[in-house]
Amino acid sequence: MKSHSIHRSSGFTLIEVMIVLLIMSGIMIVITQVLTAARTTRDTIHNIRESQLAGPAILDLLVNDLRALYQFNMESSRSLQVIDRVVSGLDADRIDFVSSTDGLIPVRADSRFVRGDVNEVGYCLRPNPGNNDFLEMYRRESFGVDEEPFSGGNYTFLHDRIVSFDILVFEEDGVDAEELEAWGSEDDENTGLPARIEIELALELAPRLLREQLRVAPIHSRTVVHRRVFRFPEGLRDSIQNQVLLAIPEVKPPVIDNGQGAGAPDLDDQGNPTGGVGGPDVQVITGGPSSGGTSGNSDAPDIGGLFGDG
């Protein structure tokens, strides 16, 4: 009798291979989703922190310039100007004034660069050339002060995803004060400094992964609004309204009084004292500023030259 050995082939069936592939595919999908969510969360947190730093930084810069508001020897109409503007359907107000903060933009003078101690400062916006849904914000600075403190100068870029920049002006301080949208413009009767201004800056997060963040964070949750209230000191406001402007005085030559009032000496046709009836001895200047002569007292000093040519 012959014995026959039975040999079985070792391996996996097709069904077993397909089951393993299906399990591995599920695991890979889960890992990919976890990594995508982690990356999106990281970028969202990064953008939130970036916007939280950008918004307050812009407002801090504006408030610091306002605190150094310069008003010495300036008319009240050149103190502050707020213009109500709308650009591309978005609030894009503008504010201009003169500040004594050190200039941020160096200016070339001869062979060196200098920064101004007193500069014209402004904050303005324009449409974003790459996206019509946003505005770009710039800080204007002009070296020194000229006859037009609300225009000209160089511009420094601040941010490119501004949703709105709105400024409200209040002539009086208090809860019931009426808000104004403009101040100090050519057609506006309000000049000088208001009691306070309220600034609202809204900007949108800049998504690094646009498609993923649009699903996770919609537009309304990606917009961050920052507000500031700035009150002008009452003493500064009063000093602007009542300040004394520097000017070269016009000194006129002395005028001889020919009247015959009490105590006045008698004068002849040429305006010289006759020594007749009158009050006490009075020195009368008759030479005028050009001649420098005096009468009535030969020892009097020559003061005609103090008045120039009149």
Report the C-alpha gap between 11 and 245 in whole angstroms: 103
Average pLDDT over residues 32-41: 86
* Of 63 and 220, the one with more pLDDT: 63
The answer, yes or no, to whether residue 50 has pLDDT greater than 60, is: yes
More confident residue, 75 or 19: 19
pLDDT score at 89 = 92
| pLDDT at site 34 | 92
Amino acid at 249: P
Phi then psi dihedrals of residue 250, to 5 deg: -100, 110
Signed CA dihedral, 175, 176, 182, 188: sign only = negative
**Could you count the other beta carbons within 10 Å of the beta carbon of residue 161?**
20
The pTM is what?
0.63
Going by pLDDT thresholds of 50, 70 and 90, the confidence category of residue 299 is: very low
From 274, 249, 250, select the one nearest 264 (Cα to Cα). 274
pLDDT greater than 90 at residue 289: no
- Total Cβ atoms within 10 A of residue 39: 13
- Number of Cβ within a 10 Å radius of residue 246: 7
- Portion of the chain with pLDDT greater than 70, in percent: 70
Local confidence band at 85 (pLDDT 50, 70, 90 cut-offs):
very high
pLDDT at 232: 92
**Interatomic CA distance for residues 201 and 82, integer angstroms:** 15
Q: How is the chain split into domains, by residue range?
A: 52-241, 248-310
Compute the average pLDDT of residues 137-158: 92
Q: Per residue in 66-103, is it b (16+ CB within 10 Å) or e — as a string?
A: beebbbeeeebebbbbbbbbebeebbbbbbbbbbbbeb
The pair phi, psi for residue 98, each rounded to 5°, is: -110, 130
Check residues 213 and 304 and name the one with the higher pLDDT.
213
Confidence grade of residue 288 (pLDDT, cut at 50, 70, 90): very low
Q: Alpha carbon 226 to chain centroid distance?
A: 17
Q: Summarize the confidence of residues 120-148 as an average pLDDT.
A: 93
179 pLDDT above the threshold of 50:
yes
Mean of pLDDT over the chain: 78
Composition of the chain by helix, strand, coil, percent to 5: 25, 25, 45
Q: Which residues contact 182 (CB under 8 A, 6 or more apart)?
A: 82, 83, 84, 169, 188
Angle among Cα 142, 184, 54 to the nearest 5 degrees reads 55
SS3 for 126?
A: strand
Amino acid at position 283, single letter: Q
Instruction: Summarize the confidence of residues 74-98 as an average pLDDT.
Output: 91
